[in-house]
């Protein structure tokens, strides 16, 4: 009887080890991360390995400004470490260029299709007035204060050039 209990206990240990290995295999290389791209994120592929290869090839960390619209369009895919038992996440964008403390620039809610999702594919438009130019931005996807995925990327563009030359009217120079 003592031997039977020992064998049963070892059997449970083995089953738990196999289950945790399956979970590790099911997790992808992007879990807890956000992949950013200048093009639409693919939503399917022949296999999981092919999908990850597409994402790696398409991912980008630097985005050029659309000078006509004065904005950046950033496509992203956020991958969670475990299925989310909620329908809403918060996306936060921080300026982390030259501050020790990140400065929150924007925050908005995003709704998921259903409970149990492990990823979110979407895009965001960043306005020049809000974010400035040539900045580092940290994006987080959060749920109830817990960070599910994050990344950092750069938004690039031509900064406004100032000549330092000032023209005053005659009224202004005479103090009127």
Residue 18 has pLDDT above 90, yes or no: no
pLDDT tens-digit map of 28-83: 788 899 999 999 998 888 998 998 999 999 999 999 999 899 999 999 999 999 99
Percent of the chain with pLDDT over 90: 56
Of residues 28 and 161, the one with the higher pLDDT is 28
Q: CA–CA distance from 82 to each of 28, 43, 70, 144, 163 (Å)?
A: 11, 19, 37, 15, 53
Confidence of residue 23 (pLDDT cuts 50, 70, 90): very low
Q: Please give the Cα distance from 52 to 55 (Å, whole number).
A: 5
Q: What is the pLDDT of residue 128?
A: 92
Of residues 42 and 10, the one with the higher pLDDT is 42
Q: Where are the domains of the chain?
A: 29-156
Residue 14 has pLDDT above 80, yes or no: no
Q: Please give the Cα distance from 70 to 1 (Å, whole number).
A: 76
Of residues 166 and 150, the one with the higher pLDDT is 150
Residue 124 has pLDDT above 90, yes or no: yes
80, 115 Cβ separation under 8 angstroms: no
* Dihedral (Cα; 84, 108, 123, 36), 10-degree rounding: -70
Q: Around Cβ 35, how many Cβ atoms within 10 Å?
A: 22
Q: What is the pLDDT of residue 8?
A: 35
Region 14-29: what's the mean pLDDT?
42
Q: Which two tokens stand for residue 106?
A: 């924007």
80, 119 Cβ separation under 8 angstroms: yes
Domain 29-156 fold is Immunoglobulin-like (2.60.40)
Region 122-131: what's the mean pLDDT?
92
Residue 25 has pLDDT above 80, yes or no: no
Q: Which two tokens stand for residue 19?
A: 């289950």
Burial per residue of 71-97, b for 16 or more beta-carbon CB atoms within 10 angstroms, e otherwise: bbebbbbbbbeeebeeeebebbbbbbb
Strands, sheet with 103-111, edge to edge from the N-terminal-most edge strand: 62-64, 146-156, 135-143, 88-95, 103-111
DSSP letter at 20 equals H
Q: What is the pLDDT of residue 43?
A: 86
Of residues 83 and 25, the one with the higher pLDDT is 83
Residue 9 has pLDDT above 70, yes or no: no
Q: Which two tokens stand for residue 25?
A: 């295999």
Q: Give the distance from CA 52 to its chain's centroid.
A: 16
């Amino acid at each position: 009887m003592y031997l039977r209990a020992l064998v049963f206990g070892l059997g449970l240990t083995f089953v738990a080890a196999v289950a945790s290995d399956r979970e590790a295999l099911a997790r992808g290389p992007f879990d807890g991360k956000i992949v950013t791209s200048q093009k639409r994120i693919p939503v399917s592929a022949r296999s999981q390995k092919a999908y990850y290869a597409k994402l790696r090839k398409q991912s980008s960390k630097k985005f050029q400004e659309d000078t006509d619209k004065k904005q950046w369009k950033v496509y992203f895919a956020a991958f969670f470490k475990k299925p989310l038992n909620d329908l809403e996440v918060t996306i936060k964008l921080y300026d982390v260029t030259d501050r020790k403390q990140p400065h929150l620039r924007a925050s908005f809610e995003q709704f998921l299709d259903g409970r149990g999702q492990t990823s979110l594919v979407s895009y965001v438009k960043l306005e020049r007035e809000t974010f400035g130019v040539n900045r580092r931005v940290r994006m987080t996807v959060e749920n109830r204060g817990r960070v599910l995925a994050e990344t950092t990327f750069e938004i690039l563009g031509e900064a406004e050039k100032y000549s330092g030359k000032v023209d005053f009217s005659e009224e202004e120079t005479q103090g009127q």
